[in-house]
Amino acid sequence: MMNEYAILYLEINIFSLVLIGIVLLKTMGLSQMVAQSHFAMSIIAEMVFFVSDTLFVLVNEGVLPGGKPVMMACKEVYFLATAAMCFFWFIYFEYLRETRFVKRRRYVLYSISILWLMVIALLANLFNHSLFYIDESGVYRRGPFFILTYILSYSYVLIAFIRVMINLKRDTEATNKDLLIRLAFFPLFPGISGVLQFIYPRLPIACAAISITTLYLYLTWVDQLISLDPLTGLNNRKQLTHTFNNLSKSHEDQDKIRLYLIDVNHFKQINDTYGHLQGDNALKIIAEALKAACKGENKGTVIARYGGDEFVILVSENNNDETIDLKERIKEKLKELSKKKSVPFELTVSVGSACSDNGDSLKDLILKADKAMYMEKKKYH
C-alpha cells in the first residue's frame, strides 16, 4: 500500500504539473515571440524536473519498482532539468527587459557554459559519485561536491536578480520600473524553496513553489500584453490613462505633471511614398529616440504611444526649463538614430507640451499640448 508521504508528494507534484501544463498551452497559444519561446522551454524543463522528482520519490519509497539504476537516472535528469530551467528563466528575463545581452548572440552562447558545466559534472558523477550516489543498501546519499548542483543552477537566478536590480536603479520610466520590481520578486519562491529543500530533502515544496512562480511570470507577461503597444513596446493609451490617474493621486501640491505630445511630421507622405513597413519602422525609431531622450528624467516618467503617429510623455517636474531640454533631446536623439539606421527619408517630429493645473484631466492636458504642438508643426509646412 502506498505510504502517506508518497501520496502527498504525488498529489502536490501532479497538481503542479497540471498547473504549468495549462500555462504552457496558454503561452504557446497567445504568442510566438522569441521571449515566450524561452519561457515555454523553461516550462518544458520544469515538467521534466517534476516527473523525474516524482518518479524518484515513488521508487525510493518502494511504490514503483526500479532500484538503484532508475533512482540514479531520475536524479541525473532532475539536476540537469533544474539547470536548464534556470537557464531559460535567465534568457527570458533578458528578452523581457530588451537588454543588449540577447541582441549579441555570443553573449547568449557564453551564458550557456554554466549549463554545460552541469552536464559535464553529472556525466562525471556516474563514475566518481562526487555529487550524489545510491549506496549498496539503496539509500540516496549526497557526495562531497553536492553543493555544486545548487551553485551551478541557481547562479542563473542570482545573476538575473542582480541584473534586474541594476536595471531598476538606472531606469526612470515608471512602467518599466513596475515590471522590474515584479521580476525582482521572482527569485523569492524558488530561492526559498531551494534552500529549504537543501536543508530538508524530504520536504515536498520545490515543485509547488516553482509552479506558483511560473504562474506569476505568466500573469506578469499577460499584464504586459494588455498594457503595451505591440509595435513600439511603449505603453498603450489604456496604460497611459491608468498611470496618469495614479500620478495625479500621488502628487504633492507643489509638483506638476508635464505632458508632451509628439507628432510625426509628414507621416502620411512617408507611408504613401515608402510603404507601411517603412512607416512602422519610423514609429519604432521614434519610440527608441523617446526612450533615449528620457533617460535621466525624474522618476515616474511615462512614455506611451497615444495612437497612430502620436506619442505622449508624462514627466513630474517643478522647473519649466526642463521642457526645452527634453524637447531638444528628443529631436537630437531622433536625428542621431535616423542617421545611424540610414533612414531613406527625413524623420522629424513636432512637440507640444502643457503643465497640469489643479483638477486637469488627461484629456485637458492633451488638448493644451495639442495646441502648442500644432503651433510648432506649422514650421514644417
pLDDT confidence of residue 108: 81
Question: Is the alpha carbon torsion for 372, 377, 379, 381 positive or negative?
Answer: negative
d(C-alpha 213, C-alpha 217), whole Å? 6
What confidence tens digit (pLDDT) does each residue in 278-334 have? 899 999 999 989 988 887 666 668 899 998 899 999 887 654 445 558 888 998 999
- Residue 187 exposure: Cα atoms within 13 Å on the Cβ side: 20
The 10 Å Cβ neighbour count of residue 195 is 12
Give mean pLDDT, residues 22-42: 77
Residue 372: exposure state from Cβ atoms within 10 A (0-12, 13-18, ≥19):
middle
Helices (H), the chain: 4-30, 34-60, 67-96, 100-103, 105-111, 113-128, 147-170, 174-185, 188-199, 206-227, 237-250, 267-274, 276-294, 321-340, 362-377
For the CA atoms of 215, 217, 222, 227, the dihedral, rounded to the nearest 10 degrees, stands at 140
Q: Which pLDDT band holds residue 72 (cuts at 50, 70, 90)?
A: very high
What confidence tens digit (pLDDT) does each residue in 224-277 have? 778 888 888 888 888 888 888 877 776 655 567 889 999 999 888 988 888 988
Give mean pLDDT, residues 17-43: 80
What confidence tens digit (pLDDT) does each residue in 187-217 have? 777 778 878 888 888 778 888 888 888 888 8
Question: Which three-class secondary structure state does DSSP give residue 310?
Answer: strand
Chain mean pLDDT for the chain: 84
Model confidence at 28: pLDDT above 80? no
Residues near 133 by Cβ (< 8 Å), separated by ≥ 6? 72, 125, 140, 141, 143
Give mean pLDDT, residues 165-182: 68
- Mind giving me the DSSP string for 184-220? HHTTHHHHHHHHHHHH-TT-TTHHHHHHHHHHHHHHH
pLDDT confidence of residue 253: 52
pTM > 0.85: no
The 10 Å Cβ neighbour count of residue 25 is 12
Model confidence at 374: pLDDT above 70? yes
pLDDT confidence of residue 163: 83
pLDDT confidence of residue 165: 80
Across 352-364, b (16+ Cβ under 10 Å) vs e yields: bbbbbeeebebee
- Mind giving me the DSSP string for 366-377? HHHHHHHHHHHH
d(C-alpha 242, C-alpha 74), whole Å? 49
pLDDT confidence of residue 190: 78
Q: Residue 331 corresponds to which cell in the numbers above?
A: 529631436
Question: Which three-class secondary structure state does DSSP give residue 63?
Answer: coil
pLDDT confidence of residue 251: 60
What confidence tens digit (pLDDT) does each residue in 83-96 have? 999 999 888 888 87
Of the segments 1-10, 170-179, 294-303, 333-342, which one has the largest average pLDDT value?
A: 333-342
Question: Which three-class secondary structure state does DSSP give residue 343?
Answer: coil
Of the segments 122-131, 216-225, 281-290, which one has the largest average pLDDT value?
A: 122-131
Model confidence at 19: pLDDT above 90? yes
